Structure 1
Amino acid sequence: MDKKKTSKEELERENLLLKARIKELEESYSLFKERREEEIHKDKTLLDGLLMSLPDLINFKDKEGTFIACNRVYADSFNLSTEEIIGRNDYNLHEKEYADLFRSVDRMVMDQGIPHRNEEWSTLANGKKVYLDTYKAPLYTRDGECIGILGVSRDITLQKKKEKELIRAHEQLISVMEAFDEPAYVADPVTYELLFVNNTIKKELGDDVVGQKCYKALQNFDSPCPFCTNHLIFGDNVGKTHIWETRNAKNKRWYRCIDKAIEWPDGRMVRFELAVDIHKEKMSQKSLRESEEKYKTYVNVSPHPIFVIDFHGNYVDVNPAACKVTGYSRKEILKMNLSDFLEPTNKRYYLELFKKLQSEGHISGEFPFIKKNGGLFYLEVQVVSIPENRFLALCTDSTEKRKAEERVLQAKIDAENANRTKSEFLANMSHELRTPLNSIIGFSDMLLTGIAGDINDKQTRYLINVSQSGRHLLDIINEILDISKIESGKMKLYKDRVALIEVYEEIRSSLQHLADNKGIKIIISPELDGKCVIADRAKLKQILYNLVGNAIKFTEDGGLVTIDTRSSGEFIEISVIDTGIGIHPEEVNMLFRPFVQLDSSEARRYEGTGLRLALSKELIELHGGRVWAESEPGKGSAFTFTIPACE
C-alpha cells in the first residue's frame, strides 16, 4: 500500500515538473517566435527599403512565374503599383510573344542554375524607349532548393548613347588617320603596344605590325626609344600637342612628328603620332649649310634681288641688287620689316601669305612692292625656309615685263574694240551697201531683156559681165555682213524641225548646173531614214550651199561629191566629201579663218575670198555644233559638221 502511494506521488511530481517544463518551453518558443518575427520584419523592411531605393527595375517570381515581389521602379514601368504587380505573371503584363520568350528564359535559368544576361531596347508603359541591361538569376533556399527567379533590369540608354558616340568618334578618327599619306599610329604608353597603324605604315611594314612594340616595329630598338615623348604629352600635359623632329633609326629618314594624348574607345589614354616626312627639306637645309660660303659669294654678285627674312618678317640680309631695286641702302633695309614694302591696300592679304610661309616653309608668285620714292615695282618671288627659322627670297624684277604685258593687254582690248566697231559698222551698213548694188544688177538684167531697146552683141556681153560681177560682189558683201552680224551678236536663228532630204534635194537642184558644167556627180547618202534636225532652215541651206559649192569648185572634171549623214547621239553628223585636189594637213586649221586663202599653187588657181568656210563655221557654232575637215593632197577632202537632231 505504501509503495503504491509513493509511486503515485512521484508520478504527480513528475507530471508537475513536465507541465512546468512544457510551460517553460512554450514561453521560450513564444519569445523565440516573437524575436524571429521581429527579425523577419526587420529583414523585410530592410529588403523593401533596399528594393525601393534602387534605381534599377527589380522583380522576384516563383517557379510558376508569378510575381512575389518588385520595387516601385519596376511597377512604375507598367503604370501600376507594387501591390498590383504581385500575383500577376508575364502574360498579364506583356504580349504573348514576349511573355513566351521571358518564360522560356526563366525556365532555362532555373533548370540550368546559370544566370542569364542580355541587352535590348524596350518601350515602357509611358511610351519612353529605353535600352535595358537585364540580369536573371535563380533564387535558392538555404538548403539549395530553387524557389524562383530574380530579375534586375538597368537603364543603360545614356551609356549606350555615349558608347555609340565614342565608337563613331573612334571611327571618324580612324578614317582621318587612314586619309593621311604620312605615317600615323596609336600606341599604348604603358605596354608600348601598337593599337593602330594607317595604310602608309602597313604598306611598308605589313598588316601584322599591329600588336608589336612600337619601338621595335618603327625604330628597330630592343627597348623603349630614348627620345620617347610620353612624359611630354601625358600627366599634366594631357591635351597639349608636342611637335618635334627626329631621324628614324630604321630607314634613316627625317620626320617632323606631331604627338598628342587621345582617349581610346576602352577609356584609356593613348599616344597618337603623325610623322611628316621632311627628309628632302632636311637634306636641302644641310646642302644650304654646306654651301653657305658659296651662297654669300653668289648672292653678292647676283643681278637678281635676294632677301633673307627672319620668322617675324624682319630683314636680316640683302644683296646689292635688292638695294638697287628698292632704293634703300643695306643698312636701311636691315632695320625694316616685310610690311614696310607692302602695298597698303593689300597688306592684310600679304600678311596672311606670310603666315602660310611660316607654316608651310615655301611660297611663290608675283607681288607688288613700294620703293623708297613711293613708286611701285613688281617682283617674281620664290621663298624657301632655311636654317635658324629664316626664309630666303630669290626675286626677279618683273616691273618692265608687267608693263609690257599691260601694253599688250591694252592693245588686245583696243583691237577687240576696233573689230567690234567694224562689225557693228558693217552690220549697220547692210542697206546702204546692198541697195545700190541691187540697182546695178537689176537694171543690167532689165537692159538684157531689151525693155529699153535693142542692144547689140557687144553690149550684151558687157551687160552680162556687169550683172555677173554685181552678183558676185553682192555674195561677198552678204557673206561679210553675215560674219559681221555674228560677231556683233545681231545674227538671229529661227529654228524649226527640218527634214534633211528636202534640204539636200534643194541644194542639189541649186548647184546641179555647176556640177553638170564639170561633169561632176552629186550623190546623196541613201541612209536618211526620215532624219531631221533642229535648225534655221535658211542658215542650214547656206551652210550646205557653201560646203557643196566649194567641193564642186575644187573638184576636177568628172569627179564625185557626196553628202553623207550619220547619227551621233543628240546630234546628226553631215559630211560633204569630194574627190578634189585636197589640202596639206598643216593647212587644214587655216581653212575656217575669214579672208584667208591657202598659198599652195593648186589652191591659188581658184578664185575666192576665203569667207564661205569661215561663215559656215560661225553658223554651225550658232546652232551648237562644230565643224572639222580631213584631207590629203590629191585624194580629196571631207568637211563634217554636227547639228542638233530632232528628239
Structure 2
Amino acid sequence: MTINMPSDEDLERENRDLRKRVEELELSCKSFKKERDEEFNSKNILVECLLKHMPELVYWKDKHGKFLLCNSGYAKSFGMTVEEIIGKTDYDISSKKKADAFRRSDEKIAREKNPVTNEEWVTSPDGTKKIFETYKAPLYTDKDEFIGIMGIKRDITKQYAKEKELTGAHQQLLSVMEAFDESAYVANPVTYELLFANRAIKKSIGEDIVGNKCYKALQGLDSPCPFCTNHLIFGENIGKTHIWETQNIKNKRWYRCIDKAIEWPDGNMVRLEVAVDVHKEKMAQKALQESEEKYRTYVKASPNPIFIFDFQGNCIDVNPAACKITDYSRRELLNMHLYELFPEEERIHHKDNFKELQLNGKFSGEFAAVNKKGYKFYISIEALELPENRFLSICTDVTERKKAEEELLQAKITAENANRTKSEFLANMSHELRTPLNSVIGFADVLASRAAGEINDKQAGYVKNISHSGKHLLNIINEILDISKIESGKMKLYKENVSVMEIYAEIISTMQHTATKKEIELIIDPWPENEYVYADKAKLKQVLYNLVSNAIKFTSACGSVTIGTKNDGEFTHISVKDNGIGISQEGVKKLFKPFTQLESFKSRSHEGTGLGLALSRELVELHGGKIQVESKPDEGSTFTFTIPKKEGHLTNK
C-alpha cells in the first residue's frame, strides 16, 4: 500500500489557513468583549446617576447585613460618605439597640418575603429631628435564594407638619362656624352624611342631626335633593364658591346658601354650606315683584338674550342680555332687522327660517351670529309666536360649547394621527432593533458551544442567561412589531394551502420538552389527516404556538392539553383545551386586549407581555377568521379559532 504524504507546500498552506481562522476568531471575541464591557459600563453609569439624583435615601444590604450600595443622601444622614458606609453593617454606624432592631426587622422581612412600609423619627448628626417614610423589601433570585434587603427612605417632615397644621386650621374653622348666628354644616358629598352642624342649625333643625343624611335631616326627603349643588362646587369647580337661594321644605323659610368644597382632616373634599335666613327679605322682594309687570320682569331678569320681532322681522324689544351679547345698545337694536344679526353670506338661509316661523308659529336651531365689532359667536334659538303678530326669540350663548366641540374634534384628529405615527414608527424599527439583538444572541450561542474556546461552568451559566434573556427580549420585540405592523396596515400574509397535521407535528415537536418538564400530556384528538387550510403557514404556527404555550403555562403538573380539529366545509375550527386554572368572566372580557395580563402585579407568577393573545386575535382576523374562549375558574379553558379552507374567503360572520 502506498501512502501519499502531504507536501511541505500543502502543510504551509494549511498552517496559513489555520492562523487566519484563529485571527478572525480572536477579532470576533475582542469585538464582543468590547461591546459587553461598554454595555456594562453604561449600565453602571446609569445606576450611579439614578442613585446620585434620587431625592430618597437608598441602600442595599446583603444577606449578612453588610451594605453593598447606598447613595450620598443615605450616607449623609449618618454624617458619613458612601465609601465609609459600603462594607459596614448597622452595628458599625448605629447604636447596638438600633442595630438590633434593624436586624430583627430585616430577618422578619426575609422570613415573610413581604415588603414593609412604616414611619420613623430620625435624629440627624446635627441634632435635627425628621420623620421618614421607610420602605424595605427582601431581594430574592429566580431560584428563590435570599440575597439581601433593599431600603428606600423618604423625608416626609414637611408633609407631616402640613397635615398637623391643616388639622389645627380645621379646628379653628369649626370654632368660627360655631360662633355664627347663621346655620352652617359640613356634609360628605358621596354619602351625604352630616359631619358637622353648628349650634344655629341644631337649634333650628334638631340636636341629633350629625351622622344623619343631610337631605333627610335638613329637608325631610328620602333621597338626595333634586336641587343639590354638589356638581357646581366639586370636580372642575373645586375652589369656586356657589351662592344660591332655596326655600327649606321642612320649615318653608327662604335661605341664601353659600356653598364651597373644602378639605377635611382625613384628606377628603367635603361640602361646606352657610345658610343665611333671608325669608323676610324674600317675602318683601316677592311682594314687590308681583306688583310689577311680569312680562318686563322676566325679560329684564333673564340671563338669556331675548328679542321680540314684529311680523316683518323688525326688532321691537330686547333685554339687557341681548345688548350684551351683540355689543349693540338697546336703541341700535330697535332700529335693526333680525337678518342684520347674522353673517351676510348666511342671511338667505335665515329668510327661509323666518318664513317657517311665520308659517308654523315656532322655530328652533343653533346658528352663527355676528356682534357689532364683527366677531362671530354662536347662539341656540327657541322662537315662538306671540299675540298681535309678534315673535319671541329666547337665545342661549353656546359659543364656548361650540369651541369645546371643535377643540375636541381637533384633539381626536391629533390623537389618531399620533397613534398612526406611533404604529408606523414601531413597524419601521424592525431592522434597527432586531439586528444588534440577534448579534448578541448569536455570539452568546457561539460562546456556549465552546467553539471560541473552553469556558468554565460559571461562565457557561452567564452565557446561557444572556442567550435566554436575549431570545425572550427578541420575542417581545417581535410581538410588539407584529402588533404595530397590523395597526399600521403593513402586515402582509403569504397564503398557501397548508397541511394542518404538519403544523401540529411541528408544534408538538417544539413544545414537547416544555410539557414533559411539567408532566403535562400533549394530546391531538383527532389527528387531522388530509386537512388543509388556506393561510400564512408561519402566522398560523405563531397563533397555535401562543395558545399551546399559554395552555401549558397555566396548567398544573400532571394535567393535559388537547388540540382538536373540526371542519364545517368553509372553515377549519382549531381548538386548544386545557384543565388549568381557568379564567373568570371579567377576565375573559379583557383577555384579548394588548399589554393586558389578568394577574395583579404583586401576585403575577407567569412572565409575559400580555401581547400573545392580542396578536393571535389580530392574525386570525387578518385571515378572515375569528377566535373565542370558553372558561371557568379552576375548570380550565378552551380557545377556538377558525381559518378559511378556501382561497378568497375574507370574512367569517
Taking structure 2 as the reference length, what is the TM-score of the superposition? 0.49
Bigger Rg, structure 1 or 2: 1
Tell me the TM-score normalized by structure 1: 0.49
